[in-house]
Structure 1
Amino acid sequence: MTSTTSPAPSAAERLRAEHGTALTLGDDCDLPDDLVIEIDHGAHLTIGDRVSIRRGSTIQVHRGATVAIGADVAIGEHTFISAMAGIRIGDGAALSNMVDLHDHNHRPRTAANVPTGQLVPWASGFEAAPIMIGPGAILSNKVTVTAGVRIGANALVGANAVVSHSIAPDTVATGVPATSRRTFDGAPAPREDRRTLTVGFFGTSIMEHLEAFNAQMANQADLPEVGSKVTVEVWRQRGWVHRLALSLRAAWPHVGIDVRNFGEGGATSRDITGIVEADRATTGTDYDLVLLGCGINDVWRRFQNRMSEAVDLDEYTRHIHTMLSGLSGYSRRIVVVSETPFGPVEDPGTVTEMNAELARYNDAARTAASAHGALFLDVWGPFTAAARHLTPANAEGEDPGSLWSDGVHLTELGDTVLLQQAERFLAEHRIVEKLLDYPLLERDAALAAYGPLFARHRPAGS
């Protein structure tokens, strides 16, 4: 008797029949029979051409979320991928055995999150943020990647690592938490979705630092003759803010650094509060990082006997709280920068009195920063320490190493002291590294905020 039994459907055929339009499955994929794929309502899974997935692996795509696996991706045995916002794995990436990708966490069981006290694991809800793995990246055995992390193109993550913060392209990272160990000259790979950090500076002329500019003065191939005259074409912002922006761009060339400097010469805290409010009203900009510093003109105006412009400590304190309260609503990280001390702008006794008063304003700024969850960068100590050790002016009045050009505004040396403190502070707190992560949001908010990142990986209208 001849058997007419039909051959068992392939894994690809079974999955297409089971999930319909919720699954986009490419050609020539190598999928195991025991592959578990769970796709909830409104979710979508895209698997590119020539993807290989080994036995014992699971892919969960929860309500509304997206998982997009590029072409020529290899996924090892017993790997677990679970998305509530979105996970993207770039072309040619490799996940070794027992890799775990979860783009979500349980929220803490606070009274606000669980008002009824219900004792079930999901009662507190979830928070989520995308996981993005770049083209050509390799994750070794038993690597765990947490929510909000970007792993750059060609990156190599060592076995057993826990990747809790983003990893740059062309980088070897190992450990718990995973830390960059070295970089290399990476092979060509698509650099998708360049991340841009928006950095705002609000302060006085110490942040604004205008310099006269003529294009010929900056062109090494066409410098003007010594003794000739050039015309000032424009004022440009330079100083420590400009140099810090260059430093960030050099250290993070794969990241866009969008610097917006709202420093204004002569501004008091009263003026800067207005600048912050006007910026929000006119541009609506959300900032990844804000550096805020003011107070020196609040004090100086009183000693100049310009009493209508002076700002006393109580009013200054109100202004700093107002600015921090507003900025906290649309800035991921705020750093309040202390004012630099006064130099020899008056006789020594008056300068001592001015600095004693300015120190009180800095203390108020430190307290306000703590109250609003901002960081405080204290440059006062390093600045005064440097000033003590610099060579004083000689008998001819020449000043070979002053931090101040006029007792208030900074020389290039003063700018460098401030720059070094800012760079060290950002590095110690790993501020840029943490800002490169996607912020965790409540589950539905994450779907709304991050959905556009995955739109091209879903069928039109889904």
Structure 2
Amino acid sequence: MIFEPGQRIVFIGDSITDCGRRDVAAPYGNGYVSLVHAFVTAAHPGLGLDWVNQGIGGDTVRDLAARWERDVVEARPDWLLVKIGINDVWRAFGSHPEDAVPIDEYETTLRRLLGRAVGATGCRLVLADPYLIEPDRDEPQRAQTDRYAEVVAKLANEFDARHVRTQAAFDRVLATTTPGDWADDRVHPNLPGHAVIAQAFLAVIGWHEPTGS
């Protein structure tokens, strides 16, 4: 596995990462972050990892930029796990299109933030795609989300980051199910939906189920 003893693991993102971590489900939330934390801790209890969830519901890359110094640079991560972009796209298809983040701004901002984090802390990166739980790739919001995911793939290559293909993970399960099996609104997953995301993260960080007795 990529994590080493005593390292600090910082997650940052929007509501999918937040998932109640500032309220009833403190400190990790009740979504994929909590699942990743639980499975890694159970498999490697001696690592003594320090886990931090910095997700905030509703965030776009603009919001991350406003809190990056406090919530990332000052947190001094060894590994920074970033999943952002759903709201950047979704707002264009909702009641507040003026709050959507154009793809060029999304790419420029995210590249700047990642560069700042790496330069200031020396952290390694894990970057996760935005997604829409929608099997029709020609549906407008899904098609736009795929373009933003291409930006994440490009940045993962630029920064030698681990790349979590969350959209591909949902596409796999959608081959035999419907979007409503995983989320009521195609965005905010139920617990099985969060497990889909968690499995994608666990595969990328090299987690393996313990064997033997």
Cα distance in 2, alignment partners of residues 377 and 235 from structure 1: 24
Q: What is the letter of the counterpart of residue 407 of structure 1?
A: R
Question: 1:416 maps to what in 2?
Answer: 195
2:163 matched to 1:338?
Answer: no
After TM superposition, the structure 1 = structure 2 runs for residues 84-163 of structure 1, keeping only pairs within 5 Å, are: none
1:270 deviates by: 0.8
Give ranges in structure 1 of 5+ residues lacking alignment.
1-164, 169-194, 214-233, 394-398, 431-462
Name the CA distance, whole Å, in 2 between partners of 1:256 and 1:415. 24
Q: Which residue of 1 aligns with 2:63?
A: 271
Q: CA deviation at 1:343?
A: 4.0
Which of 245, 250, 255 aligns to 2:47? It is 255
Q: Which runs of 5+ in 2 are unaligned?
A: 209-213
More strand by share: 1
1:341 and 1:384 in contact (8 A); partners too: no
TM-superposed deviation, 1:277: 2.3
- 2:92 maps to which residue? 302
Q: Describe how 1:391-406 pairs up with structure 2 within 5 A.
A: 392=178, 402-406=181-185
CA deviation after TM superposition for structure 1 residue 305, in Å? 4.0
Structure 1 runs of 4+ off > 2 angstroms? Answer: 277-281
For these two proteins, the number of residue pairs brought into alignment is 204
CA distance in 1, matches of 2:96, 2:102: 12
Partner of 1:375: 162
Residues 9-408 of structure 1 correspond to what in structure 2 (within 5 A)? 195-210=5-20, 234-236=24-26, 237-280=29-72, 284-329=74-119, 330-343=121-134, 352-390=139-177, 392=178, 402-408=181-187
Give the letter for the 1:418 counterpart: I
TM-score (norm 1): 0.41
The Cα offsets for residues 238-266 of structure 1, whole Å up to 9 and x where unpaired, read as 11101111111111111112111111111
Counterpart residue number, 1:79 = none
Asked which structure has the greater RCO (Cα within 8 Å, sep 6+), the reply is 2
Q: Say if 1:279 and 1:211 are closer, same or farther in 2 by CA, change over 3 A.
A: closer
- C-alpha contact (below 8 Å) 1:199/1:259 kept by paired residues: yes
**Residues 370 and 389 (structure 1), Cα distance of their counterparts in 2 relative to 1, 3 Å cut:** same
Counterpart CA distance in 2 for 1:326 and 1:197 is: 19
Preserved CA contact (<8 Å) 2:32 2:195: yes
The amino acid that maps onto 2:187 is V
| Counterparts in 2 of 1:264 and 1:382: CA distance versus 1, 3 Å | same
1:373 alignment partner, SS class? coil
More helix by share: 2
When residues 252 and 211 of structure 1 are mapped into structure 2, their CA distance, relative to the original with a 3 A threshold, is closer
Spell out, residue by residue over 1:421-451, the C-alpha distance to the aligned partner (whole angstroms, 9 max, x if none).
11111117x9xxxxxxxxxxxxxxxxxxxxx
Could you say what secondary structure the match of 1:339 adopts?
coil
Indicate how the Cα distance of structure 1 residues 419 and 251 shifts in structure 2: closer, same or farther if over 3 A, else same: same
SS in 2 for 1:299: helix
- Structure 2 counterpart of 1:144: none
Equivalent residue, structure 1, for 2:211: none
The 1:354/1:280 distance shift into structure 2, 3 A limit, reads closer
Identity %: 26
TM-score normalised by structure 2 residue count: 0.85
Shift of residue 372, structure 1, vs aligned partner: 2.0
Q: CA deviation at 1:235?
A: 4.8
Tell me: CA distance 1:212–1:388, structure 2 relative to 1, closer, same or farther (3 Å).
Answer: farther
CA distance in 2, matches of 1:374, 1:291: 10
Q: Residue 133 of structure 2 contacts residue 170 of structure 2 at CA under 8 Å; is this kept in 1?
A: no
